[in-house]
């Protein structure tokens, strides 16, 4: 099971004076069970890219294959695809609309054609998996804090039981604890259910901590693709395109310069701590 | 008198049912005391729902107190006659740049504020030029705002506030929606206004790294000010901050962890430079 993008191009407002090529010749393979981060400055094509993965946007040219099937085939069920590839937009809490949290989360599976009972069962499981306490479930979603609302919105997508979960900046505007809570829940879904995760983020520290593969978008193309350690080693190139490496990656660089560390490409706090303690043991 | 002084400032959000009976009361500010001197750079931290934004909205009288008193530039915010004078002196910048830009050309957007308060045309143009220069956006003066990046839009919003020639600017999570580059642009612009023009800055943020250069930090929790002090004093209390759902900058946390593991590193390390120096001394 995988998603394959083959020479995907996307042009906004084609054949007008405002023509912009948002995606240029994208070739990617997303394997089953991966945890992928996507970074890039505003306007680099991140959001356009992820909206192609569930067929919400249609490539101007090129092909997309989900589990080996061409999603642009005449008789391919793209509605079903959108259930399998769940997309959580930026500020998803703006899309909450039902009178109770439980009703809001049940809406997705009901819309997919499941019976009331089945839909409610799925909503139950989804709300459990985002860790929202049961005494909230029958309240209005508008009574919740920012972080709680966001978890309800994510539950709404999880209730459709997707195989792939794509999140577009799920932590924007949340306090530090709220950020950790959301990302820990996502990491748990990845570990326990082997769900494929694609996380779009502006926080280099977050992607370094959670993802195993990092894709850097720049001007509609894939600029780098590798482990966080490999990608952040190119910190100068990243800065040139408006990004940066996590603070600790710069620290490791400084320590190498001062001869304290022989090597070290740590990108997370734990890795850095270990490398420094190791150096001081000698 | 300080530029901003709050004494036992209270704000209650009151919910009423259809008959007008009180259903519930949420105390968003609970007897808050705040002192900000002219020219200071003050940061306010706190988790979602801690009362930060409610406080910000009091500073330019978008909200008025349920109790206590707030003076801005020596004027009591309770007195309706002071409303416009205070708003002119305490400009606000919000989280989403797209909600704050109204004109189709950058310079017209910046001119909107002064035009609205009846500044003569020739003076408006001078102000537009000055404020766009002060945030490094002068070369975009004739551009359309919707073609700008998030950081650029946010700087135009700041220029719009600067054109009102305020003494103070209040920024409510101005970088929450920006990429790393945009975040840096906005922060640099704000720090420059503070240093070079002596503008008083109140910065509300969830990014601990942005607070490192502030003169003073206030931490809010459930409507109360629970901590205040220099960034160094605040960030040396890692566990206390965590109990308020906050964090410390990554470098500070690393220094704290290394210290716990037995390395002799001072408390309250704030920057990479400081940690490198501390480690070099030990090596």
Chain A contacts of B176, Cβ < 8 Å? 172-173
Nearest Cβ partner of A280 from B178, B179, B263?
Answer: B263
Chain A contacts of B149, Cβ < 8 Å? 41-43
Q: Check residue A124 and give its pLDDT.
A: 94
Contact A277/B150, CB-based, under 8 Å?
no
Chain B residue with Cα closest to A240 = B181
Q: Of B67, B69, B72, nearest to B83 (Cα)?
A: B72
How far is Cα B257 from Cα B261, in angstroms, rounded to an integer? 6
Chain B contacts to A (CB-CB under 8 A): 46-50, 95, 149-151, 173, 176-183, 206, 208-209, 242, 245-247, 249-251, 253-254, 257-258, 261, 263, 272, 275-276, 279-280, 282-283
Contact B272/A176, CB-based, under 8 Å?
no
A278 vs B: CB within 8 A:
no
Q: Note the pLDDT tens digit of each residue in B181-212.
A: 888 889 999 999 999 999 999 999 999 999 99
Q: Is A64 exposed, middle or buried (0-12, 13-18, 19+ CB in 10 A)?
A: buried
Check pLDDT > 70 for residue A282. no
Taken in order A167, A169, A172, A174, the sign of the CA dihedral is positive
Q: Note the pLDDT tens digit of each residue in B239-282.
A: 999 999 999 999 999 999 999 999 999 888 999 999 999 999 98
Write down the domain spans for chain A. Answer: 2-228
More confident residue, A265 or A233: A233
Confidence of residue A266 (pLDDT cuts 50, 70, 90): confident
Q: What are phi and psi of B35, to 5 degrees?
A: -135, 120
Q: Check residue B110 and give its pLDDT.
A: 95
Contact B280/A258, CB-based, under 8 Å?
yes
Q: What are phi and psi of A71, to 5 degrees?
A: -75, -10
| Angle value at C-alpha A137, between A131 and A142, nearest 5 degrees | 100
At residue A276, the 3 state secondary structure works out as helix
Chain A contacts of B48, Cβ < 8 Å? 145-147, 173-175, 178
| Furthest CA-CA distance within chain A | 65
Secondary structure in 3-state letters for B166-211: CCEEEEECCCCCCCHHHHHHHHHHHHHHHHHHCCEEEEECCCHHHH
Chain A contacts of B246, Cβ < 8 Å? 175-177
Chain A contacts of B242, Cβ < 8 Å? 177
What are chain B's domains?
36-64+75-230 (3.40.50.300)
Q: Of B58, B48, B244, nearest to A147 (Cα)?
A: B48
Q: What are phi and psi of B113, to 5 degrees?
A: -60, -60
Residues 6+ apart with CB under 8 A from B3: B36, B37, B38, B40, B72, B73, B167, B168, B200
How far is Cα A166 from Cα B173, in angstroms, rounded to an integer? 25
Question: What six digits make up the tokens of A169?
Answer: 């900046």
> Radius of gyration (Cα) for chain B, nearest Å?
20
Domain A2-228 falls under CATH 3.40.50.12240? no
Q: Of A200, A126, A201, A194, nearest to A156 (Cα)?
A: A126
Interface test with B, best of A39, A238, A242, A266 (most B CBs within 10 A): A242
Task: Give chain B's mean pLDDT.
Answer: 92
Chain A contacts of B146, Cβ < 8 Å? none
Contact A277/B209, CB-based, under 8 Å?
no
Task: Please tell me the pTM assigned to this model.
Answer: 0.86
Q: Check residue B120 and give its pLDDT.
A: 95
Q: Note the pLDDT tens digit of each residue in B146-158.
A: 888 888 899 999 9
Percent of chain A at pLDDT exceeding 70: 99
How far is Cα B245 from Cα B220, in angstroms, rounded to an integer? 11
Cβ atoms A212, A190 nearer than 8 A: no
Q: Strand pairing of B75-76 and B67-72?
A: antiparallel
> CA-CA distances (angstroms) from residue B241 to B29, B90, B235, B247?
19, 29, 8, 6
Chain B residue with Cα closest to A40 = B179
Confidence of residue B17 (pLDDT cuts 50, 70, 90): confident
Contact A174/B250, CB-based, under 8 Å?
no
> CA-CA distances (angstroms) from residue B138 to A19, A255, B111, B142?
26, 40, 13, 9
How far is Cα B215 from Cα A15, in angstroms, rounded to an integer? 53
Secondary structure in 3-state letters for A107-154: HHHHHCCCCHHHHHHHHHHHHHHCCCCHHHCCCCHHHCCHHHHHHHHH
More confident residue, B98 or A36: A36
Q: What are phi and psi of A271, to 5 degrees?
A: -65, -45
Confidence of residue A209 (pLDDT cuts 50, 70, 90): very high
Confidence of residue B96 (pLDDT cuts 50, 70, 90): confident
Q: Check residue B198 and give its pLDDT.
A: 93
Cβ atoms B207, B174 nearer than 8 A: no
Q: Note the pLDDT tens digit of each residue in B23-74.
A: 888 899 999 999 999 999 999 999 988 999 899 999 989 999 999 999 999 9
Residue bearing tokens 């040396």: B236
Check pLDDT > 90 for residue A62. yes
> CA-CA distances (angstroms) from residue B98 to A12, B159, B163?
20, 15, 19
Chain A contacts of B253, Cβ < 8 Å? 269
For chains A and B, count residue pairs whose Cβ atoms are closer than 8 Å.
108
> CA-CA distances (angstroms) from residue B159 to A165, B109, B144?
40, 9, 15
Q: Check residue A281 and give its pLDDT.
A: 81
Taken in order A193, A198, A200, A201, the sign of the CA dihedral is positive
Q: How far is CA B18 from its chain centroid? A: 37
Q: Note the pLDDT tens digit of each residue in A98-151.
A: 999 999 999 999 999 999 999 999 999 999 988 888 989 999 998 887 788 999
Question: What six digits make up the tokens of B134?
Answer: 């002060």
Chain A contacts of B258, Cβ < 8 Å? 273, 276-277
Question: What six digits make up the tokens of B89?
Answer: 């002196």
Nearest Cβ partner of A202 from B48, B179, B258?
Answer: B179
Q: Of B15, B16, B18, nearest to B26 (Cα)?
A: B15
């Amino acid at each position: 099971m995988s998603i394959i993008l083959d020479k995907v191009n996307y042009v906004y407002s084609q054949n007008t004076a405002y023509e912009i090529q948002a995606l240029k010749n994208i070739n990617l393979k997303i394997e089953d069970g991966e945890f992928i981060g996507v970074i890039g400055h505003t306007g680099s094509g991140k959001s356009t890219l992820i909206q192609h993965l569930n067929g919400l946007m249609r490539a101007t040219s090129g092909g997309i294959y989900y589990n080996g099937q061409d999603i642009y085939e005449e008789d391919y069920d793209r509605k079903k695809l959108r259930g399998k590839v769940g997309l959580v937009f930026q500020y998803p809490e703006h899309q909450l609309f039902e009178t109770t949290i439980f009703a809001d989360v049940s809406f997705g599976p009901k819309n997919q054609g499941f019976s009331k009972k089945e839909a409610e069962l799925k909503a139950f499981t989804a709300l459990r998996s985002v860790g929202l306490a049961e005494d909230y479930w029958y309240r209005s979603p508008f009574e919740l804090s920012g972080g709680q609302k966001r978890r309800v919105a994510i539950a709404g997508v999880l209730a459709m039981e997707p195989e792939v979960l794509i999140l577009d900046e799920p932590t924007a505007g949340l306090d530090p604890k709220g950020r950790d809570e959301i990302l820990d829940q996502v990491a748990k879904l990845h570990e326990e259910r082997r769900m494929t995760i694609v996380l779009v983020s502006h926080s280099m520290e977050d992607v370094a901590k959670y993802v195993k593969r990092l894709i850097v978008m720049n001007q509609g193309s894939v600029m780098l693709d590798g482990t966080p350690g490999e990608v952040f080693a190119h910190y100068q190139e990243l800065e040139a395109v408006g990004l940066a490496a996590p603070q600790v990656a710069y620290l490791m660089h400084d320590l190498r310069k001062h001869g304290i560390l022989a090597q070290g490409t740590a990108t997370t706090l734990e890795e850095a701590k270990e490398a420094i303690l190791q150096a001081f043991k000698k | 008198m300080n530029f901003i002084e709050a004494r036992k400032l209270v704000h209650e959000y009151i919910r009423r049912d259809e008959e007008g009976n009180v259903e519930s009361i949420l105390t968003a500010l609970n007897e808050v005391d705040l002192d900000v001197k002219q020219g200071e750079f003050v940061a306010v931290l706190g988790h979602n729902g801690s009362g930060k934004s409610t406080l910000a909205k009091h500073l330019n009288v978008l909200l008025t107190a349920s109790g206590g008193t707030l003076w801005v530039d020596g004027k009591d915010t309770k007195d309706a006659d002071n409303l416009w004078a205070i708003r002119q002196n305490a400009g606000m910048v919000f989280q989403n740049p797209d909600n704050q830009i109204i004109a189709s050309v950058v310079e017209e957007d910046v001119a909107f504020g002064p035009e609205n308060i009846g500044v003569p045309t020739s003076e408006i143009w001078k102000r537009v030029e000055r404020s766009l220069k002060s945030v490094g956006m002068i070369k975009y003066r004739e551009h359309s705002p919707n073609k700008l990046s998030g950081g650029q839009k946010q700087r135009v919003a700041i220029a719009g506030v600067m054109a009102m020639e305020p003494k103070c600017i209040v920024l409510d999570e101005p970088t929450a929606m920006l990429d790393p580059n945009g975040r840096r642009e906005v922060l640099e612009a704000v720090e420059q206004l503070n240093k070079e023009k002596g503008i008083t800055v109140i910065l509300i943020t969830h990014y601990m790294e942005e607070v490192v250069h502030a003169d003073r930090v206030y931490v809010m929790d459930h409507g109360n000010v629970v901590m205040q002090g220099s960034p160094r004093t605040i960030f040396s209390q890692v566990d206390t901050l965590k109990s308020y759902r906050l964090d410390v900058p990554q470098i500070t946390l690393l220094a704290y962890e290394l210290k716990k593991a037995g390395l002799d590193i001072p408390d309250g390390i704030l920057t990479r430079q400081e940690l490198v120096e501390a480690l070099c001394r030990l090596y």
